[in-house]
Amino acid sequence: MSELCYNCFKPKSACLCSYTKEIDPGIKFVLLMHQKEAKRQRTGTGHIAKISLKDSEILVGFEFEHNKRLQELLSDPQYFPVMMYPGEEAWTAKKEGFGDVLKGKKLLVLILDSTWFCARKLIEHNPFLLKLPRLSFYGDYRSIFTFKHEPRPEYISTIESCYYLIKEMQENGLCPADVDPEPMMNAFKQMIKFQLQAENERILGIRPNSHSYDAKYNKLREIPTFD
């Protein structure tokens, strides 16, 4: 395994730090990461999101109901905490009244930063999370991450979730219009390029095959330019 950059948690040869730019959307993002996936960050985007978003945090664990930091944040009156999760009663940035509930409070968004499988485990183990007000998108998005095979097409990566939420908040005047979230998406695109390139090099034998589960990726992939 190649050496990791302990800021973006990518191999140093594919470090994304220079592609990121910190923005301050006036929203506090808290990423809940399954402890099993905390070190498996090859396809994860949580750390890139954290570097990109001022005041964001990653909390690693499995049992969050008694997580001191999370409970501290949830009981802090300066925040209006929401769980990023679909549901009939979920808020969206354009739902009537959302601007009013935020008056004088900072939006605190909890996001499950996990693969679909581990996110489900986290929810099962922490049902209190679904008792929080929920926030969802009104737009319908698909991930540009062609490498990852999630069982649900609407399951988008953490960094895409943050990106689209900021866009929807901006469209509704709930986030400053001069905040530019594009560098987040650009860093994500660069991550995809690095990964596809690494996969191709493994297939071509230029790079050792360090992950046994890569065996199923045996076809060279075209690296997108995203133009």
Residue 81 CB, nearest approach to Zn ion (Å)? 29
Identify which of residues 5 and 102 has a Cβ nearer to Zn ion in the complex: 5
Identify which of 4, 132, 11, 119 has the alpha carbon closest to the alpha carbon of residue 75.
132
Q: How is residue 94 written in tokens?
A: 């354009």
Identify which of residues 17 and 60 has a Cβ nearer to Zn ion in the complex: 17
Identify which of residues 5 and 60 has a Cβ nearer to Zn ion in the complex: 5
Residue 165 CB, nearest approach to Zn ion (Å)? 24
Chain residues 2-31 in contact with Zn ion, contact rule CB under 5 A: 5, 7-8, 15, 17
Identify which of residues 5 and 90 has a Cβ nearer to Zn ion in the complex: 5
Residue 166 engages Zn ion in binding (rule: CB under 5 A)? no
Identify which of residues 8 and 27 has a Cβ nearer to Zn ion in the complex: 8
Residue 31 CB, nearest approach to Zn ion (Å)? 17
Identify which of residues 145 and 194 has a Cβ nearer to Zn ion in the complex: 194
Contact letters (x/-) for Zn ion, 102-141, by CB under 5 A? ----------------------------------------
Report the 10 Å Cβ neighbour count for 100: 7
Residue 52 CB, nearest approach to Zn ion (Å)? 12
User: What is the 3-state secondary structure of the chain?
Assistant: CCCECCCCCCEHHHCCHHHCCCECCCCEEEEEEEHHHCCCCCCCCHHHHHHHECCCEEEEECCCCCCHHHHHHHCCCCEEEEEECCCCCCECCCCCCHHHHCCCCEEEEEEECCCHHHHHHHHHHCHHHHHCCEECCCCCCCCCCCCCCCCCCCCCCHHHHHHHHHHHHHHCCCCCCCCCCHHHHHHHHHHHHHHHHHHHHHHCCCCCCCCHHHHHCCCCCCCCCCC
Residue 21 CB, nearest approach to Zn ion (Å)? 13
Residue 224 CB, nearest approach to Zn ion (Å)? 22
Q: Total number of residues binding Zn ion (CB under 5 A)?
A: 5
Contact positions toward Zn ion, by CB under 5 A? 5, 7-8, 15, 17
